[in-house]
Structure 1
Amino acid sequence: MPRKVRLEEISILKEIAELLNEGTEMNAVLAEVLKKLLQLTGLKTGWIFLIDEEGVHQLAAFEALPPALTYDSNHRMCKGECWCVNRYRNKKLTNATNIIECKRIEEAIAAKAGDTLGLTHHATVPLRAGNERFGLLNVGSPNKTYFQQEELALLESVAFQIGTAVKRIMLNKREQETALVAERNRLARDLHDSVNQLLFSLSLTARAGTEMAEGAEIGQTFHYIQDLAQEALGEMRALIWQLKPQGLENGILCALKGYAEMLGLLIEIKVAGVASFPGKVEETLWRIGQEALANCKKHSQSSHVYLSLDRNSKSVTMVIKDHGCGFHYSQCNDIPSYGLKNMKARTEALDGKFQLTSAPGTGTEIKVYIPV
């Protein structure tokens, strides 16, 4: 091999190692590493599946997929079964495997979904770090039906680095989430022990002042201060609930019911299916439910709220509805408040759908659909 070519390969390998060692954004890192790997090997097409503990795969990165596979927003890559994913789930795929006829491509050809650009086969390599597995690296080229052992060895080496990086990024994200929860808990304790107690003391003092005041005007002033203190105390308790929900350890329904009661709302709950969810989904439902119930309290002019949760094997749908005053809103318009926009953003961050329905005199309905 010419020295110049060898130096270029070493340089690319160094860039891949640096990306995997320093990157923090999972999909961005995987996309850039995949691009450089194809440049290094001279291959044309590649994609990376991340696969969770339940065997559900997601298309985390891809490069130069043929139109037959990118048709309908990569739907064929994101859904359905294939040989490599099934073998991975069954723990029968442990090393770089030479050539696999791609079932997704065969189905695309049968469905006349578009041009395959000559891609018929691919090599597949599991992403591992020690005994832990994280997904698959697949690479191929038009009309290529065989990989040399040296090629497979190189792919396996890079795949191991990718697996190690995926583990590092996941651990780092978990540490950040743990630190965030700890900080929320600390702040909730501080607010309860300091500001909450001060507001309670202020309320008692104002009440005593009302009873001791000699003049009606002074008594009214103390009464006004007491009302303000009580209102602030209610707001503070709601804030502490948001930071550290009581009852979430017993499930989302218990937490939302307790929060609604703390706000003074009468809540009717209906459940279909099993009310247990992955951690991220449960936290998202909690935060959206929190915001929706707080909006009911502040704006609906009604104390009655309806909550439903419908969980099946593929998704969860949560509906929160009041029969209050409502407001003018059309699906064609922008969502009118920061809180509602935040609900929508949280839903879409989990590939879900958010729907807002409201009109004067008919109340407001929040509907959230999240795949699980």
Structure 2
Amino acid sequence: MVMDEHSNVTLLKEIAELLNEETDMKRMLDGAVWKLLNGSNFESAWIFFINEKGKHQLVTHANLPPALQRNDCRHLQKGGCWCVKRYHDGDLEKASNIIACQRIENSIAANALDHGGITHHATVPLQSGEEKFGLLNIAAPDTVRFSKDELALLESVAFQIGSAIKRIGLTKQEQEMALVKERNRLARDLHDSVNQLLFSVTLTARGGIEMSEEENVQGTFRDIQHLTQEALNEMRALIWQLRPKGLESGLLEAIQAYGEMLGLTLELKVTGVIQLPSRTEETLFRIAQEALNNIRKHSGVSEAQLFLTVTSSDVLMVIKDEGRGFIVDERLQLPSIGVQSMWDRAKAEGGTVDWSSEIGRGTEILVRIPY
């Protein structure tokens, strides 16, 4: 294929403008690959993100032939291949032609008439400085090898995308840090104001009980003390949710401390070594918080069990109680706002939440999150 230098400069400028304007990772990647295809001789493209353990994730694709699109891009999603292995081994430093692609070969073997003439592809790592994020792959019908000019264009686009991924990642980190600071400020304000006022009311109510000799008045003060103590417990739980204490000491310690604060006895069972990313730990902690809140409010019991199983690719957390349970209405997508919150948190990390419950036999929440 012959590449036009002027058109390449125009294409790189258009891609750079898109990458500089976009703040959403998915839209940025989708827009970049489509601009690359529309302004070049390449006809198909896909991007893998690859983590430190070499596990790849298909994050975007454009104009794939039916054989590669079939079953939610199964041949791209599953299994191994040479380019990902070379990337993980550190042997892939620049744009390269891939002579044999196991993923494409498997798709052709399964759907021989639907591969659209695509039998090979070129690949280039996405990186910013020394930090690597994954691979950009491109292909064209009846093309075994791409020219030096085409590979040079691919490298230039990959450099731009890698820089944009880094920028969006840093922006997201800054936003998360700002959110943490705001949570901490709210937690401090609640502790220093509302929390202290509620504590003062409980002391006042206790004094009223001791000072009065009339049973009716004492009963009123007891009600005030009880209601204020409940409100104080709710406030402390809210402060925990805004600023989890003890998470820096470990996930299990934080969950157990939160359970104790709610008045729950929590039995813990762990399988595997807990070495999780901080984001995964906070997600599990937030989900556990919601589950323990539900146990305290609705189960009628003060004991629960938590099972944590950590594998090389994901973490499984199960929280069980033997309380009242509830009836799951199959017509409803989710039974409560609390469960919806757990489901949303897990989904944001690519995970799942399932639950089972039966009247008089308790409830079980099962959480699975990849990392």
Name the SS for the 1:24 alignment partner.
Answer: coil
Task: State the partner residue of 1:364.
Answer: 363
Task: State the partner residue of 1:209.
Answer: 208
Task: State the partner residue of 2:50.
Answer: 51
Q: Deviations over 1:192-239 (max 9, x none)?
A: 122111111111112112222253333322222222211111111111
Task: State the partner residue of 2:344.
Answer: 345
Task: State the partner residue of 2:127.
Answer: 128
Query: 1:347: how far off?
Result: 1.8
Please give the alpha-carbon distance, in whole angstroms, between the structure 2 residues aligned to 1:270 and 1:193. Answer: 36
Q: Quickly say closer, same or farther: Cα 1:114–1:237, change in 2 above 3 A.
A: farther
Query: 1:188: how far off?
Result: 1.5
Please give the alpha-carbon distance, in whole angstroms, between the structure 2 residues aligned to 1:113 and 1:321. Answer: 49
- Is it true that 1:278 corresponds to 2:277 in the alignment? yes
Please give the alpha-carbon distance, in whole angstroms, between the structure 1 residues aligned to 2:18 and 2:112. Answer: 35
Query: 1:280: how far off?
Result: 2.3
Q: Quickly say closer, same or farther: Cα 1:114–1:204, change in 2 above 3 A.
A: farther
Superposed counterparts of 1:173-252, under 5 Å: 173-252=172-251
Q: Quickly say closer, same or farther: Cα 1:331–1:315, change in 2 above 3 A.
A: farther
Please give the alpha-carbon distance, in whole angstroms, between the structure 1 residues aligned to 2:73 and 2:306. Answer: 35
- Is it true that 1:169 corresponds to 2:177 in the alignment? no
Query: 1:190: how far off?
Result: 1.7
Q: Structure 1: which amino acid aligns with 2:175?
A: Q
Name the SS for the 1:179 alignment partner.
Answer: helix
Please give the alpha-carbon distance, in whole angstroms, between the structure 1 residues aligned to 2:333 and 2:49. Answer: 34
Q: Deviations over 1:243-301 (max 9, x none)?
A: 12222112211111111111111111111111232222211111111000000000001
Please give the alpha-carbon distance, in whole angstroms, between the structure 1 residues aligned to 2:91 and 2:277. Answer: 27
Q: Structure 2: which amino acid aligns with 1:264?
A: G
Name the SS for the 2:197 alignment partner.
Answer: helix
Please give the alpha-carbon distance, in whole angstroms, between the structure 1 residues aligned to 2:52 and 2:98. Answer: 26
* Contact 2:329-2:335 at 8 Å conserved across structures: no
Name the SS for the 1:101 alignment partner.
Answer: coil
Superposed counterparts of 1:71-82, under 5 Å: 71-82=70-81
Task: State the partner residue of 2:316.
Answer: 317
Sequence identity (%): 55
Task: State the partner residue of 2:39.
Answer: 40
Q: Deviations over 1:134-186 (max 9, x none)?
A: 22111110101222222221111111111100000111111111221222122
69-78 vs 227-236, which deviates more? Answer: 69-78
Query: 1:114: how far off?
Result: 6.4
Query: 1:351: how far off?
Result: 2.5
213-222 vs 195-204, which deviates more? Answer: 213-222
Q: Quickly say closer, same or farther: Cα 1:326–1:99, change in 2 above 3 A.
A: closer
Query: 1:71: how far off?
Result: 2.4
Q: Deviations over 1:339-372 (max 9, x none)?
A: 1111112222222222111121111111112223
Query: 1:303: how far off?
Result: 0.9
Query: 1:315: how far off?
Result: 2.0
TM-score, structure 2 normalization: 0.93
Q: Quickly say closer, same or farther: Cα 1:297–1:95, change in 2 above 3 A.
A: same
Please give the alpha-carbon distance, in whole angstroms, between the structure 1 residues aligned to 2:108 and 2:42. Answer: 22
Structure 1 residue ranges without an equivalent (≥5): none
Please give the alpha-carbon distance, in whole angstroms, between the structure 2 residues aligned to 1:8 and 1:112. Answer: 36
Please give the alpha-carbon distance, in whole angstroms, between the structure 1 residues aligned to 2:94 and 2:5. Answer: 26
Please give the alpha-carbon distance, in whole angstroms, between the structure 1 residues aligned to 2:55 and 2:113. Answer: 26
Q: Deviations over 1:40-78 (max 9, x none)?
A: 113210111122233322111101112222222122212
Name the SS for the 2:30 alignment partner.
Answer: helix
Superposed counterparts of 1:324-335, under 5 Å: 324-331=323-330, 333-335=332-334
- Is it true that 1:84 corresponds to 2:83 in the alignment? yes
Query: 1:133: how far off?
Result: 1.8
Structure 2 residue ranges without an equivalent (≥5): none
The size of the alignment, in residue pairs, is 368
Name the SS for the 1:194 alignment partner.
Answer: helix
**Cα RMSD after superposing both structures:** 1.9
